[in-house]
Amino acid sequence: MILEIVQLGDPVLRQVAQEVNRDEITSSKIKNLIESMKETMRAAPGVGLAAPQVGVPLQIAVIEDPEEFTADMLPNIRRERGRNPVAFHVVINPKLTVINKEKASFFEGCLSVHGYSRVTPRVKSVKVEFLDENGNEKVIEASGWYARILQHEIDHLCGKLYIDIADKRTEIANDDTNRQKWFNASSAEIEKFVEERVATKSEK
């Protein structure tokens, strides 16, 4: 079932989500929720969706970055962003540790902040310990775009949104012109854009 994605302003997005009890993970309630989150993420479409985004304050996120999303991305840009396909998986009760605290900045949007993107700094690599949909303990070490997705989704589970860390002066509309302009932009081009925006608009 495709669920409604709540938008900025809904208090559930600012709540710290509750941990899921390990023995409830395989219950039909949680199984159905995960299945609906998968359908909702794919329909949106998006590369991740957290339970608070469908109005459920539980520590569950689904992630998937299919090959076709970046079929038109230039190989050098794909390499620079560390964007590699990620198979569908479920992240429950995650604990995130930073591996490389150096940051990379790229445009980032959110299905709960419809219509806009901002250049958002994220650390380059992370380790995430979590439970999967069968209640098994898992560990992921991720870098590049996958690390960005994990940080974005796990932030949702803590009541945080990318707009809390991204400079609002870098905000753009998610229209076709901008999509074309920035889809294959290099980090140097993004850095230049940020400098220009910061220079021409005074207030942070």
Looking at the annotation, which residues are catalytic? 153
* Shortest Å distance, C-beta 153 to Zn ion: 7
By CB under 5 A, name the one of 110, 142, 154, 172 that touches Zn ion: 110
CA angle (160 as vertex; 10, 136 as ends), nearest 5: 105
> Which 3 state secondary structure label does DSSP give 71?
coil
* Shortest Å distance, C-beta 27 to Zn ion: 26
Binding segment toward Zn ion, per CB under 5 A, in 74-82, 108-116, 130-138, 163-171: 108-116
Token output for 94? 């995650």
Binding segment toward Zn ion, per CB under 5 A, in 14-22, 68-76, 88-96, 105-113: 105-113
Nearer Cβ to Zn ion (99/161): 161
Binding segment toward Zn ion, per CB under 5 A, in 60-68, 88-96, 107-115, 169-177: 107-115
Decide: is 60 part of the binding site for Zn ion (CB under 5 A): no
CB under 8 A, 24+ apart: contacts of 162-167: 162/108, 162/109, 162/110, 162/113, 162/118, 162/120, 163/8, 163/110, 163/113, 163/118, 165/120, 165/121, 166/108, 166/118, 166/119, 166/120, 166/121, 167/118, 167/119, 167/194, 167/197, 167/198, 167/204
Decide: is 37 part of the binding site for Zn ion (CB under 5 A): no
Decide: is 149 part of the binding site for Zn ion (CB under 5 A): no
Q: Which residues bind Zn ion (CB under 5 A)?
A: 110
